[in-house]
Chain A
Amino acid sequence: MSKKTPLYDKHVEAGARIVDFGGWDMPLHYGSQKDEHRSVRQRAGVFDVSHMTIVDLGGERTREFLRHLLANDVAKLAIRGKALYSCMLNADGGVIDDLIVYYLDDARYRLIVNAATREKDLAWIREQGGDYDIVVTERGELAMLAIQGPKARELAAPCIDAEWRQQALELKPFNGMDAGDLFIARTGYTGEDGWEIVMPASRATVAWDRLLAAGVAPCGLGARDTLRLEAAMNLYGNDMDESVSPLEAGLGWTVAWKPADRAFIGREPLEKLRGDGGLRRFVGLLLEDRGVLRDHQHIVVDNIGDGQITSGGFSPTIGRSIALARVPAGDYDRARVDIRGKLLNVRIVETPFVRNGKIRVDL
């Protein structure tokens, strides 16, 4: 039996094509994925992301525990509500999951982890947290909406109680705040400005109606994927998993090496990998020929070696196909991709491909 979010009936009402995603019945699109994508780049869209797993950690030693659990360092979080993106690694330095951690107060942190990895994440956190007397509380009763786009905050502000509204509008990027029974963060997965709001289920359905009435476009998982690909944001299970270190998934920037004596899980194997050199590159690709790059397509770099596309698709903003890929070490900026037996030309480009509505790659 598939799980449904509190907004399931709202999706059906809005004409969603429902698909299974990690055991959840979720909206793929509401008619046109490209239109939804465009709405977020140009104005505002709302995504139901209630399937994601919210985990609150409590206890005196929570900070100390998270400094051990995560490859990024929560000691960077000095201000309440500040968010940090991090990988959670296994003992071999492979990625168990990527997540966002919010610092709520000294004995209280909130993690938002992926839906498809929920069980193994919770088991791992509980197992590692045992030594630290951590109280792990999954907040399955809460819903979460992501409102994204240049007009997102303006159009979503009326959903926030008046007493909190101004403060919410003044939140800086990657910061969050409690607002009564809401938790509002200026974060997202689209490369646009916006909020992610955690709220009780009953408030989520009211907020949904209100947002749609204000002209915010309902957006499905399809647009969420093309938006995050244009923004070159990694997708767990595609771009990295337990067999890959963050250093070969474009996530080296999320590993906090200093202080050198912080013994986070996976540190030793990562240091060895870094010392050995020859790491595979994780790059953005732009298809120069006609066609569409897709996950798992084979890449050939002449005289150097082979690689693979980890996330590929069509970029509605650019009008061409783009991808994220893992390719061999070396200094080169061209490669070829095997699409149905034909080798098509790709160029390695700086990412993100698109950010805040603007194309960032040279075409």
Chain B
Amino acid sequence: MSELPGDLLYTKEHEWLRREDDGSVTIGITDHAQSALGDLVYVELPEVGQDLDSGGDMAVVESVKAASDVFAPIAGNVVSVNEELSDDPEKINSDPYGDGWIVRLQPGGGDDDDLMAPDAYQTYLDELDD
């Protein structure tokens, strides 16, 4: 398992978030998540402009094996989606923290206490393995 990027925050549902300079937040799924899913074949993205609730449906990632929901880790308004995933969903497998990003949100305020720093997420992953 590769090292976790230090500038991201993580969720128990294996999503990552990056706070951008303009105040928006980029969201994707972690290397652990893509590895568990297997080769991705389809990604269903939300509409730009859509308001998402924290914990609500945000996207669906489908691998050769199964469909898996991706929940919005924080509330916000969708400012952009990664259209390239439509033709090349395997970008999530090959570069989960970079080209495989899924959605960019403008945070709508509210609680984000559940987000984990890299070391906390690593501990969480280690416990899952046990």
Q: Is the CB of A222 within 8 A of B41?
A: no
A290: chain B residues at CB < 8 Å are 42, 86
B116 within 8 Å of A (CB atoms): no
Say whether B1 faces chain A, with CB atoms less than 8 Å apart: no
Q: Tally of A-B residue pairs with Cβ under 8 A?
A: 38
Complexed CA–CA distance, A33 and B67 (Å): 15
B44 → chain A, closest Cβ, in Å?
Answer: 7
Please, how many angstroms separate the alpha-carbon atoms of A291 and B43 in the complex? 8
- A263-309 CB contacts (< 8 Å) to partner B: 290-292, 294
From the candidates A17, A28, A292, A340, name the one contacting B41 in the complex (CB within 8 A).
A292
Q: Across the two chains, which residue of chain B brings its CB closest to A295?
A: B66
Residues of B with C-beta under 8 A to A28: 38, 65
Shortest Cβ distance from A29 into B: residue: B38
With a CB–CB cut-off of 8 A, which chain A residues contact B86?
Answer: 290
Chain A interface helix/strand/loop/mixed: mixed
Q: Is the CB of A33 within 8 A of B65?
A: yes
Interface size on A, residues (CB 8 A): 17
Residues of B within 8 A of A50 (CB): none
Residues from chain B with a CB closer than 8 A to the CB of A316 are 41, 64
B102 CB to nearest chain A CB (Å): 16
- Residue from A290, A292, A294 having most chain B Cβ neighbours under 10 A: A292
Are the CB atoms of A291 and B42 closer together than 8 Å?
Answer: yes
Instruction: Pick from A222, A291, A321, A340: contact of B65, CB below 8 A.
Output: A222
| A109 within 8 A of partner (CB) | no
Q: Is the CB of B64 within 8 A of A291?
A: no
CA distance A6 to B65 in the complex (A): 26
Q: Which residues from 7 to 64 on chain A have a C-beta closer than 8 Å to any C-beta of chain B?
A: 17, 28-29, 32-34
Other than the known A32-B39, A33-B64, A292-B62, what 17 A-B pairs have Cβ atoms closer than 8 Å? A17-B38, A29-B38, A32-B38, A33-B38, A33-B65, A34-B39, A222-B38, A222-B65, A290-B86, A291-B42, A291-B62, A294-B66, A313-B64, A314-B64, A321-B41, A340-B44, A340-B60
